[in-house]
């Protein structure tokens, strides 16, 4: 839990320096370490710090979807709270979005990244280019800024498998998307992959089924089987 308060101590000066209204929204994916109790205490101390607790742990993408569906604000930035994403570049993300984009990705393409990370990136990039209309010049990642209107366009997604970037690129009207690169300092680019090769292949298979050429058939099967009505956003409590 200490990382949450460390994260706040790092990001608060940068947010105050933007001279804009802001909120921080944490998503507790049904952890058992008391994180939501800490988030609640932080919320009582500062109402701009909010969060939600999920009914069950259903993965990072579902947690992101819950956060996007529950937070407020004209612009929304998604980022990890473990210090891997450069907080100092928040103004650059904001400035780029205000040039007229709907989404701006800030990606780490450090050459020393682990092999599984590089493989997973190449696999998902290929998928998004073939089936979701992603321009080859755009790189995707979990650190990004989105406009509220875009989030609302997919906030009622009824499917069982959520993948935020797939929802972005399949939104209508087609969003204006760009990406920027950053080079991490120190050993930030050497972070171990959170997913094994097997898990990455499983995610790719689900992407292919739910967002690829057979997505209509798969979602139809879900509806017939009574699974299509289960929303990806399963929130137990929200602040």
Is residue 67 situated within a structural domain? yes
Domain that holds residue 121: 61-224
Contacts of 191 (CB under 8 A, 6+ apart): 84, 114
103's enclosing H/E stretch is: strand 103-108
Q: Is there a contact between 104 and 145 (Cβ–Cβ < 8 Å)?
A: yes
- In tens digits, the chain (239 residues) has pLDDT values of 678 899 999 999 999 999 999 999 999 998 888 899 999 999 999 999 999 999 988 888 999 999 999 999 999 999 988 878 999 999 999 999 999 999 999 998 765 556 666 777 788 888 999 999 999 999 999 999 999 999 999 887 767 788 999 999 989 889 999 999 998 764 443 344 455 667 778 888 888 888 988 776 766 666 555 555 456 668 899 99
Distance of CA 102 to the CA centre of its chain: 15
CB atoms < 10 A from the CB of 199, how many? Answer: 14
Residue 174: its pLDDT value, please? 93
Residue 134: its pLDDT value, please? 94
Segments of 35-94 assigned E as strands: 49-54, 75-78
How many structural domains are present in the chain? 1
Sign of CA dihedral 26, 31, 33, 36: positive
Is residue 134 situated within a structural domain? yes
Helices (H), 46-181: 60-70, 90-97, 115-131, 148-154, 164-169
Is residue 237 situated within a structural domain? no
Is residue 210 situated within a structural domain? yes
The pTM of this model reads 0.87
177-182 and 103-108 strand pairing = parallel
- Tell me, what CATH number does 110's domain have? 3.90.550.10
Is residue 73 situated within a structural domain? yes
Contacts of 105 (CB under 8 A, 6+ apart): 138, 139, 140, 141, 143, 144, 177, 178, 179, 180
Q: 30 burial class (0-12, 13-18, 19+ CB within 10 angstroms)?
A: middle
Contacts of 97 (CB under 8 A, 6+ apart): 75, 103, 104, 145, 147
Residue 115: its pLDDT value, please? 62
Q: Is there a contact between 207 and 169 (Cβ–Cβ < 8 Å)?
A: no
Residue with tokens 């008391």: 34
Residue 220: its pLDDT value, please? 61
Is residue 29 situated within a structural domain? no
Give residue 96's region: left, alpha or beta (phi > 0; psi -120 to 50).
alpha
String of DSSP letters for 152-186: HHHTT---SS--HHHHHHT-SSPPPEEEEEE--ST
Q: Tokens in use for 124?
A: 């998902």
Residue 185: its pLDDT value, please? 63
Is residue 117 situated within a structural domain? yes
Is residue 177 situated within a structural domain? yes
């Amino acid at each position: 839990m200490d990382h949450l308060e460390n994260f706040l101590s790092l990001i608060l000066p940068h947010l105050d320096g933007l001279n804009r209204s802001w909120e921080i929204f944490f998503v507790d994916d049904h952890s058992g370490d008391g994180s939501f109790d800490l988030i609640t205490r932080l919320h009582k101390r500062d109402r701009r710090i909010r969060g939600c607790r999920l009914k069950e742990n259903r993965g990072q993408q579902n947690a992101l979807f819950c956060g996007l569906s529950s937070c407020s604000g004209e612009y929304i930035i998604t980022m990890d709270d473990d210090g891997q994403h450069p907080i100092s570049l928040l103004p650059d993300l904001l400035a780029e979005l205000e040039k007229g984009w709907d989404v701006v990705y800030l990606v780490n393409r450090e050459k020393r990244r682990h092999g599984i990370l590089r493989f997973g990136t190449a696999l998902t990039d290929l998928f998004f280019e073939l089936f979701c209309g992603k321009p080859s010049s755009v790189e995707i990642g979990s650190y990004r800024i989105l406009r509220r209107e875009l989030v609302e366009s997919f906030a009622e997604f009824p499917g069982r498998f959520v993948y935020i970037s797939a929802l972005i690129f399949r939104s209508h009207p087609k969003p204006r998307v760009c990406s920027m690169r950053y080079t991490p300092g120190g050993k930030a680019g050497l972070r171990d992959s959170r997913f094994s090769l097997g898990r990455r292949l499983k995610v790719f298979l689900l992407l292919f089924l739910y967002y690829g050429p057979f997505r209509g058939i798969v979602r139809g099967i879900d509806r017939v089987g009574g699974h299509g009505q289960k929303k990806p956003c399963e929130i137990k409590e929200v602040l």
